[in-house]
Chains A and B, each alone.
Chain A
Amino acid sequence: MTPNGTPNSKDTLFIQSLRKGWLGKVFLILIGLAALWKLGVSLADNPVLFLQQVINGLQLGFVYALIALGYTMVYGIVRLINFAHGDVFMVGAFVGFYTIARFQFHTWPERLFPGLPQWLVLGVGTVTVVLISMAICALLAFTIERVAYKPLRNAPRISALITAIGVSFFLEYFGALQFVFTPNFVTFERPFSVQNWQINNLGIQALPSGQSPADNSIIISNIALIIVLASILLLLLLQFIVQGTRVGKAMRAVAYDKQTARLMGINVDGIISITFAIGAALAGAAGILYATAFPQVYFVMGIIPGLKAFVAAVLGGIGSIPGAVVGALIMGQAEVLSAAYISTPMRDAVAFSILVIVLLVRPTGIFGEPEREKA
């Protein structure tokens, strides 16, 4: 391939346009227009259904965003696609399962201080459960990095990539052992019960469970609200860490130029470990949020959400933090809308078609910059 499709005087106009990929681009634009048309028609047809899908997509998109950040941050700092990341998300969900179902951590404030109001007990308890999951995932990723990736830091990139796939299998099939997570589907106990509200032309009303909603209403659940709010909170926290703290600035410095970072006296290995840990903590939180929305956990549950979050990171521009969030929100919408308006199985096809299209048309993604040559 010629760099940037520089025109070569010998080529005919047709060859040149082929080389620049115009045919493909025109084709993609046509597909895009058709999709927009279809969405526009659906919106006009039944705005309530459409809005409902957008809300569902938002909830999914934020979960993907939390996972995608781990991919993008780790890639940004060590240029590794950490394929075990989706499995860390799975572990996070299982930690949630054990802390809630086995150890009842979500009600600890009540046992310590009987008589506290229920909302406070569950609020504090749920936050505790999420924090435990985040901490355990961070520790897990820290260990994985030290044991599996760090020894390969100067090896060819493909070695680390293959190792990541190996770690992924290890986590899955170690998890599948009978005395670990079992090879079965396990029902996730929510720390709190579901509460739905319906919104229609009469305003907002609580919807008692078991009662079907009125026609033409949008349903919002406490789970969707919690997922969106918790994700936004975590994203703001991450933004603060990366932009505002000494460690965050060191993370960016290390991502840009490790050797010079060492000349500043930055402990590069330590910063890399912290990056893995932060990404994994976000995945752990995502695991619990996801399991709260789709309350079934099993040992390979991380594969598909992990891959989709990876696509989101690539779509946004791998290495870019805002890119991961934007890419994930787009992925959430694409998945839900294609399931609703094309067919349910299409949602995975659409998700991975996005990967192919991005790699063909703009491999650097929305926010990505062309790879800088490393000195």
Chain B
Amino acid sequence: MQTDTMLTVQDLNVYYGAIHALKGISFELKKGEIVALIGANGAGKSTTLSTISGLIRPRQGSIIFEGKDITMAPSEQIVRLGIVQSPEGRRIFATLTVMENLEMGAYTRSNKAEIQDGLAEVFKRFPRLDERRKQLGGTLSGGEQQMLAIARAMMARPALLLLDEPSMGLSPILVEQIFDIIHDINEDGTSILLVEQNAQMALSISDRAYVLETGRIVMSGDAQEMLHDPSIVEAYLGGGH
């Protein structure tokens, strides 16, 4: 069967020592989709992304990306294959300039002209970063750092972008702005796996969503339907909206 499935996660089990952080989660993402992974703090969202990126090894289960088994692939190779993560807490290299941070994003690419094109594209999307090219990453505001984190990931020209809590710690206006940008990036052809605690925002721009609770997927479905399902609103979106 020839499907347009891009990423398939099968029965993933991840442990931190004795802590069973992911208890057999399975989900998939189709080319071109934004899929949201929502759930409370400690549910296992970041662990899922870290495992896909090859930072953590699962004890059981598999991760298939575009037909290749990448479960045990080194992170470097995963980036080269086109899965790039913008991590939780932005993790900007504070001692590197904005420009150098972007260059690190493009680390796996060698074609100078393509990198230049990537830079031009990123600066068009984030004019703020263009103005701050020479500034150290650590001196940016929270919103600018989040933009830089996404821009840095985009420099690797991902086919699949993993975003871990891009709204964390940002003002509502900035959150709005960041989500618009995420939406645009997806429109331009990048598939996105979006991890969020801000479920409302995440669902509003996603195609589909999975709800994670203490290491298990407890619900999944169409994002718009979930957004309007009273029981989900009650349980996961803080209710009353």
Contacts and interface: CB of A to CB of B under 8 A. Distances in A.
21 contacts: A246-B103, A246-B107, A249-B96, A253-B100, A256-B93, A256-B95, A257-B93, A259-B91, A261-B104, A262-B54, A262-B55, A262-B75, A263-B91, A264-B79, A264-B107, A264-B156, A265-B75, A265-B78, A265-B79, A265-B156, A375-B89
Given A246-B103, A259-B91, A263-B53, 11 more contacts: A255-B95, A256-B93, A256-B95, A259-B55, A260-B93, A262-B54, A262-B55, A263-B87, A265-B79, A266-B107, A375-B89
Interface in A241-276: 246, 249-250, 252-253, 255-257, 259-267
Nearest to A266: B107
A113 B100 CA distance: 46
Contacts of B104: 249-250, 253, 261, 264, 266
Interface residues of B, number: 25
B94 interface: yes
A265 B108 CA distance: 6
B80 interface: yes
Contacts of A246: 103, 107
A249 B100 CA distance: 7
Interface residues of A, number: 18
B197 interface: no
Interface of B: 53-55, 75-76, 78-80, 84-85, 87, 89, 91, 93-96, 100, 103-105, 107-108, 152, 156
A264 B80 CA distance: 9
Task: Determine which residue in B79, B85, B96, B104 has the highest number of CB atoms from chain A within 10 A of its CB, and name it.
Answer: B104
Interface in A277-322: none
A265 B75 CA distance: 6
Contacts of B80: 265
A2 to B, nearest CB: 27
- SS class, residues of chain A in contact with chain B: helix
Given A246-B103, A263-B85, A256 B75 contact: no
A263 B93 contact: no
Contacts of A260: 87, 91, 93
Nearest to A270: B76
A132 B85 CA distance: 42
Contact of A267 (B76, B87, B91, B105): B76
Contacts of A257: 91, 93
Task: Determine which residue in A250, A252, A261, A263 has the highest number of CB atoms from chain B within 10 A of its CB, and name it.
Answer: A263
A250 B106 CA distance: 11
B107 to A, nearest CB: 5
Contact of B95 (A250, A252, A266, A267): A252
Nearest to B77: A265
Nearest to B155: A264
Contact of A249 (B79, B84, B103, B152): B103
Contact of B55 (A253, A263, A266, A267): A263
